[in-house]
Structure 1
Amino acid sequence: MTTPVQQAIAALPVPREWLWQVVVRPRRRTLGIEVAPDGGVLFAVPAGADPAAVADAVRSRLPKLALEVRRRQERPGEPVKELVGGTSFAYLGRRHRLKLVPAGAGRRVRLHRGWLELPQPDTASEGALRVAEWYKACGGRWLSARMPSLALRAGVPAEVVGADDLGRRWGARERDGSIKVHWAVLQLPPALVDLVLVHELCHLRVPGHGERFRREVRLVLPDADARERWFAEAEPDLWRGAVRRRAHLTG
């Protein structure tokens, strides 16, 4: 069923080729706009949102939104890796080559002497899942150590933080109040991981992404604009678990 908010957005000069949807998120207080990796647009609105106010907010952001949608539609597809010896994996901005080691009791994915060691999996999908779990575990510990100093600079309480698969989002605040970062973000240099953390921390002060929110981010990270441009360039290359399947995995 079409809602008044959907009708209000549909009445705007939104390009016909766009794939967009409206979702109601009761915890939101202002409009949120998310652009998916394929260029789809999601408008997240509070319960009981005023259709006219939402339409005005969307209209003001259409030029910038159109540039972002076009950028995402034109970029290459999601990176795919082949789980063979020597394949490069990044962690916190540093690259490590993959080394397949014999499987056995107690064997686990680990960084060892510059290599990312992966116990021989039965399938490529299983191997990708194990590597993703390694990013979550190692990244979660790194994020927990990083959080207190950033929270202090942002002037907010240090939240529980962890790494997980967030689908289309790079960072999120969960219902229990914890902050989650997509595990793929842990491939980036610390300066860009900090950007995602600060983004979520600043939402504790200011909902939405208006000018007040941007001022809060810049107070914590004066070079936030430069970091955001850097993130936009690096983000399309983030590996999110897609692998090329082979009959046999070899080191």
Structure 2
Amino acid sequence: MSTSVHRAIASLPLPDGWHWRVEPRPRRRTLGIEVTAEGEVVFAVPPTADPSAVASAVRSRLPRLADEVRRREVRPAEPVKELIGGTSFAYLGRRYRLRLVPAVPEARVRLRAGWLELPEPGSPAEGAQALADWYGARGTAWLVPRALPVALRMGVQPWEVSIEDLGPRWGACTPQGLIRIHWAVMQLPADLVEYVLIHELCHLRQPGHGPAFRRQMGLALPDSDRREAWFGREEPFLWRGAVRQEGRPGPAG
């Protein structure tokens, strides 16, 4: 089946230079299209996919896909932070300067008097993990109480909403109803955190990103196109935990 789907997609007027592949996924019911951080297009298809229907769906999405691939290809390098006093970190769209404090037993990562305090870590990697854990805990306390009313308004029932490290993905929705949001998303303004949340909640009804999904997004969030474009401008600059190692120069975030 994947061979015939591959031939059907290859017959389309795909832009020159595209890297793409067909990936059969037994648990999918509809076509899914993903663009990786490197700009590769992944066509995720269910076992019973009809090649002509897949080709038609892909054809209708080519302009938007081309824009997304171009954006990925010119994506800036992943931000790298240096864990020294004064380094800037964002939380819910606001900027805070890092302040290192003594690593006494009661010390913890926290916002205090306009500073993001970090107990002096034993290594940059240890400090990065402490900050990621703080984003996760603080983000969970902020997001989960807000997620349930949004889900009720949309008429969906997630099994659980959690904040985790999702690697290159900003959000995920499992067939069982588990909504996961990357901790790094908590650096964004609240309107964009809500956008990511609603995007994943919409997947409870529409697993793909086709016209039905976009209609669902529009119903749940009337200005979803504006927020999508805003998110696209902001997300390449989100810090995902990369830190400058001692004695190793690198680009600062």
CA-CA distance at 1:149 after TM superposition: 1.6
Counterpart-to-counterpart distance in 2, 1:140 and 1:22: 35
| 1:127 aligned onto 2:127 | yes
What TM-score, normalized to structure 1? 0.90
CA-CA distance at 1:206 after TM superposition: 2.5
Counterpart-to-counterpart distance in 2, 1:118 and 1:230: 30
Contact 1:151-1:201 at 8 Å conserved across structures: yes
Counterpart-to-counterpart distance in 2, 1:34 and 1:97: 35
Counterpart-to-counterpart distance in 2, 1:144 and 1:198: 13
Contact 2:101-2:119 at 8 Å conserved across structures: yes
CA distance 1:176–1:246, shift in 2 (3 Å): same
CA-CA distance at 1:176 after TM superposition: 4.1
* Identity rate, percent: 62
Structure 1 residue runs without a partner (length 5+): none
CA-CA distance at 1:205 after TM superposition: 2.2
Tell me the amino acid that sits aligned with residue 110 of structure 1.
R
Aligned-CA RMSD value: 2.0
SS in 1 for 2:148: helix
Counterpart-to-counterpart distance in 1, 2:24 and 2:101: 47
Tell me the amino acid that sits aligned with residue 95 of structure 1.
R
Partner of 1:38: 38
| 1:114 aligned onto 2:114 | yes
Counterpart-to-counterpart distance in 2, 1:215 and 1:61: 14
CA-CA distance at 1:191 after TM superposition: 0.6
CA-CA distance at 1:133 after TM superposition: 1.4
CA-CA distance at 1:131 after TM superposition: 1.0
Counterpart-to-counterpart distance in 2, 1:147 and 1:61: 30
CA-CA distance at 1:154 after TM superposition: 0.7
- The range that moved more, 155-164 or 139-148, is 155-164
Contact 1:147-1:159 at 8 Å conserved across structures: no
1:63-82 to 2 correspondences below 5 Å: 63-82=63-82
Give deviations 1:9-61, integer Å, cap 9, x for gaps: 33433345333233233332111111122212222212232233222222222
CA-CA distance at 1:89 after TM superposition: 0.7
Counterpart-to-counterpart distance in 2, 1:129 and 1:6: 41
Counterpart-to-counterpart distance in 2, 1:33 and 1:158: 23
Give deviations 1:82-133, integer Å, cap 9, x for gaps: 1111111111111111111122324322222221111111221221122111
Contact 1:110-1:116 at 8 Å conserved across structures: yes
1:87-236 to 2 correspondences below 5 Å: 87-174=87-174, 176-236=176-236
Counterpart-to-counterpart distance in 2, 1:121 and 1:20: 42
Partner of 1:47: 47
SS in 1 for 2:144: helix
- The range that moved more, 23-32 or 231-240, is 23-32
Counterpart-to-counterpart distance in 2, 1:20 and 1:106: 51
Contact 1:172-1:180 at 8 Å conserved across structures: yes
- The range that moved more, 43-52 or 84-93, is 43-52
Counterpart-to-counterpart distance in 2, 1:216 and 1:73: 28
SS in 1 for 2:134: helix
Structure 2 residue runs without a partner (length 5+): 249-253
What TM-score, normalized to structure 2? 0.89
Give deviations 1:229-250, integer Å, cap 9, x for gaps: 11111111111111111249xx
Counterpart-to-counterpart distance in 2, 1:228 and 1:35: 15
Partner of 1:7: 7
Counterpart-to-counterpart distance in 2, 1:74 and 1:111: 34
CA-CA distance at 1:192 after TM superposition: 0.6
Aligned residues: 247
Contact 2:5-2:50 at 8 Å conserved across structures: yes
Counterpart-to-counterpart distance in 1, 2:52 and 2:31: 12
